Structure 1
Amino acid sequence: MTDLPPKPAARPDKVSLWRYLRLFRRDILSAQPAKLYRAWMAEFRTPFFRSYLINDPKLIETVLKTHPDDFPKSDRISAGLRPLLGESVFLTNGAVWKRQRRIIDPAFEGGRLRDTFPGIFAAGQAGAARLVADDTPQEIEAIASHIAADVIFRTLFSLPIEDVTAQKVFLEFRNYQRSQPILNLAAFIPGPRWMPRFFRQATRRSAKNIRALITQLTIARLEMIAAGTAPDDLATKIMTTQDPETGETFSVSEMVDQVAIFFLAGHETSASALAWTLYLLARAPEWQEKVATEAAQFDGDFASLSQLKITRDVFREALRLYPPVPMMVREAYAPTRFRDRAVKRGAQIVLSPWHLHRHNRLWDNPDGFDPNRWQSENGKSCVRTAFMPFSAGPRVCPGAGFAMIEGVTLLANLLKNHEFHLPQDRTPTPVAHLTVRAEDGIWLRIVPRLHT
């Protein structure tokens, strides 16, 4: 196909603040002007604070890599997620965050990824077995969400998605995702953290239910650890890892916070990435055949993942075009200067993978689906300076390596014996909720793959 994959229509360059806030509340992507796809920096003013969206690779490196402590995560964004995530590693800053990463990071080191692979592969096989290949349009985001949730439960708690508690958590997370916008109105209200915040009743109820279920799983696992019967999975690894500086482990409430973000980050983002990848492959049958050819040779062994080179590049291209987390927000800890412009303490620094990944002064053919780009000089350059689906620097997602293995493995499982095709008149429109999803879902037809 020669037409480009869909992206949201940009708003006019100039709109009133209140119209912008209404658009932002509805969808963060379509609320932004088209000029952000070519701008190195843009300033936004509100009555309460100023924001600076930065696409300049040098500024991004300053914020994320060379001076990350000067640009902690913004509490304006954290406020909207705190009822579910509490003080998880996704929201904290400073010494608390560093302590949490010292305990969490060892679970996602290279050797541990090999240990989690059987759970990922089993979830992929189970997901492929559940597919209904009857050539009728099916909502792919729901299918991808089910598979991604299965991956998390198998690798974190050694439970398949069919487990009763796992099913309850999965359904509650689906309710939460639908009720929680990417940015709560609290982000626009100045004041200290104790000031009342406004959340939808359904959002609060889902968050409370999720945390209660995770608490049950956490307490049960602690009892198994004490009895010496716990499986050697991610939950056991994290709950038994001591902070090398203090010798402490996570308390129950701290572990509940971490499990909530593992599920939110590992489930929501993976489901988004998988669904958009399948959609892109349905649009590009020649690439789908290349992935299927690799999948046919894949024996399901961890060491064989390196052979899935085309599948990896296809997945990376989907992450570029549809990054699951479209925007990240930091806060200036002290006054500074960006591109000869004064940035005051407290200013919000917005890093947008959505705009950076499609920046027309950085990428060749920025809106096109071209997995070959990763072998080009432009692609090799941009992957170092303009590609950050998992953030970058010290705050890079600890599960970034896990996510890449998961995406490639699931694609190989799904494409091995199935074909995905576009239905008529069902073009998805990307919108940002907690992750980049489609406004009315992603619909595809699935048929058995004929092997010759």
Structure 2
Amino acid sequence: MTPPKPEARPDKVSLWRYLRLFRQDLLSAQPQRLYRAWMAEFRTPFFRSYMVNQPDLIRAVLKERPDAFPKSNRISEGLRPLLGRSVFLTNGEVWKRQRRIIDPAFEGGRLKDTFPAMLNAAQACADRLSGRVGQRVECEEITSHVAADVIFRTLFSVPIEHEVAAQVFDKFRIYQREQPLLNLAAFVPVPSWMPRFHSRKTRQTASEIRDLISRLTDERAIAIENGSAPDDLATKIMTTTDPETGDRFDAQEMVDQVAIFFLAGHETSASALAWTLYLMAMHPDWQEKLAEEAKALDMPKFSTLSQLKLSRDVFREALRLYPPVPMIVREATCPERFRDRDISQGSQIVVSPWHLHRHERLWDRPDDFDPTRWTTENGKKCQREAYIPFSAGPRVCTGAGFAMVEGPLILSMLLRRYRFETIPDETPVPVAHLTVRSKDGIWLRLVER
């Protein structure tokens, strides 16, 4: 069985038809030819956008010359109400300073420190599901809850049931469905000087989330001051100084960073885990292999993760088929020439993990679910050149290692206790909200082992 993907639109449609499709869903608005194209141009009356799928062009944009292709402000404005000037949105020296302060918190040795919190969140999730055996369950709801639990436990040493954490989670669920990751400005004729309008509800929800995060960061600042703060990620980040300037994040900057940690660390993991569970239901043979492997968690410790090799390969394959962030948008700061095309300054350069990971001229059987592909020559080559679920280069997601511990751990913890089964006539349809989610949820039947 081939995993579901959106039905691509015809290659040629009018601009206004394209706009209507785009507003419904970013993924299904794109033509089928993009799964074969090395490069494609999107023309509007005000600017040009170029999607690049050719590995050497992607390498130039993301790895070799990242300063020449900063994050597009057209995209940033869509998320500004919630994320402020977080590391996800900034460029240049501001971004470099932020990464110098943040990166030490996610270095290899810190992953071992966060493992107990991840494990407790995964166990709590498995326990919560015990009362729903035999029922239809919506997987995105389950994975959103456990991913948020992981973030609060590792950041602030509090579970999702904590009063403020629970409120942030509830309000973020409202925000998540309202705000697309990519606004129309990336692809359609919206001049750069035109303000980006956000609905009153979007602005209000973002403000409420930020106020709640401020409560957590203010309390932590007091605990750091009096020496009672736990040794978690929030404490690490708030006490780390920029090695070049000696500065720390001020209160407002810390709220910005926590907002993106929650969005990126919770939203992306939830998306990837939900699709992984659906793939396991589609492929019960693989589900049984992972359940057998997960017996290693009977006596769980950090070193046990090295035994979850199949789970890691399955999770990696799910990230290939359903990359949580489907498109990455950069802006050309000077004239360029790509594939004999002149790229003018200010053009939008779109790198699409969604299309790159399914590219017909790069991957063997690109639409098939095959966790064994990572041991093949084609799989190894594509992993180096055409696999970017966490972006690439200097702006690679600082939590990539964190996610590759969290995902296989939670997946294994659930599969050792439960079996997930597909439900007839309930095939999920991928759409792009903040991340790649299902149009009407991912519904599976939960069976106890």
* TM-score of the two chains, using structure 1 as the length reference: 0.97
- 1:364 alignment partner, SS class: coil
What's the counterpart of residue 170 of structure 1?
169
- Cα offset, 1:165, TM superposition: 0.4
Cα distance in 2 for residues equivalent to 1:183 and 1:361: 26
Contact 1:211 1:256 in 2 (8 A): yes
- 1:242 alignment partner, SS class: coil
Q: Superposed, which structure 2 residues align to 1:45-444 within 5 Å?
A: 45-131=43-129, 132-185=131-184, 187=186, 188-192=189-193, 196-298=195-297, 299-444=299-444
Contact 2:118 2:153 in 1 (8 A): yes
Contact 2:325 2:436 in 1 (8 A): yes
Cα distance in 2 for residues equivalent to 1:360 and 1:372: 18
Cα distance in 1 for residues equivalent to 2:358 and 2:192: 35
- Cα offset, 1:185, TM superposition: 4.4
- Cα offset, 1:49, TM superposition: 1.0
- 1:52 alignment partner, SS class: strand
Counterpart AA for 2:192 = G
**Residue 6 of structure 2 is aligned to residue 8 of structure 1:** yes
Contact 1:184 1:199 in 2 (8 A): no
Contact 2:422 2:445 in 1 (8 A): yes
Counterpart AA for 1:19 = R
- 1:83 alignment partner, SS class: helix
Residue in structure 2 matching 1:32, options 30, 33, 38: 30
Deviations 1:408-452 (A, max 9, x none): 110111111111001121000000001000000000011111xxx
Cα distance in 1 for residues equivalent to 2:90 and 2:127: 40
Length, aligned pairs only? 445
Contact 1:79 1:186 in 2 (8 A): no
Cα distance in 2 for residues equivalent to 1:277 and 1:70: 36
Structure 1: tracts of 5 or more residues without a match? none
Structure 2: tracts of 5 or more residues without a match? none
Cα distance in 2 for residues equivalent to 1:306 and 1:64: 30
Cα distance in 2 for residues equivalent to 1:283 and 1:135: 18
Cα distance in 2 for residues equivalent to 1:44 and 1:113: 42
Deviations 1:366-393 (A, max 9, x none): 0000001011111111000000000000
Cα distance in 1 for residues equivalent to 2:48 and 2:315: 35
Cα distance in 2 for residues equivalent to 1:186 and 1:283: 37
- 2:350 alignment partner, SS class: strand
Cα distance in 1 for residues equivalent to 2:26 and 2:404: 26
- Cα offset, 1:134, TM superposition: 2.4
Contact 1:421 1:445 in 2 (8 A): yes
- How big is the alpha-carbon RMSD for the aligned residues of Structure 1 and Structure 2? 0.9
- Cα offset, 1:191, TM superposition: 3.3
Contact 1:149 1:170 in 2 (8 A): yes
Cα distance in 2 for residues equivalent to 1:197 and 1:368: 39
Cα distance in 2 for residues equivalent to 1:115 and 1:278: 27
- 1:160 alignment partner, SS class: coil
Counterpart AA for 2:227 = G
Contact 1:25 1:183 in 2 (8 A): no
- Cα offset, 1:19, TM superposition: 1.5
Contact 1:329 1:350 in 2 (8 A): yes
Deviations 1:66-121 (A, max 9, x none): 00000000000001000000000000000000000000000000001111111111
Contact 2:325 2:435 in 1 (8 A): yes
Deviations 1:121-143 (A, max 9, x none): 11000000001342221111001
- Cα offset, 1:18, TM superposition: 1.7
Cα distance in 2 for residues equivalent to 1:73 and 1:313: 30
Deviations 1:239-263 (A, max 9, x none): 0000000000000000000000000
- Cα offset, 1:197, TM superposition: 2.1
Contact 2:296 2:304 in 1 (8 A): no
Contact 1:23 1:31 in 2 (8 A): yes
Counterpart AA for 2:85 = E
Counterpart AA for 1:129 = D
Counterpart AA for 2:375 = Q
Deviant stretches of 4+, over 4 Å: 185-188
* TM-score of the two chains, using structure 2 as the length reference: 0.98
Cα distance in 2 for residues equivalent to 1:384 and 1:13: 30
- 1:229 alignment partner, SS class: coil
- 1:402 alignment partner, SS class: helix
Cα distance in 2 for residues equivalent to 1:63 and 1:185: 22
- Cα offset, 1:189, TM superposition: 2.4
- 2:42 alignment partner, SS class: strand
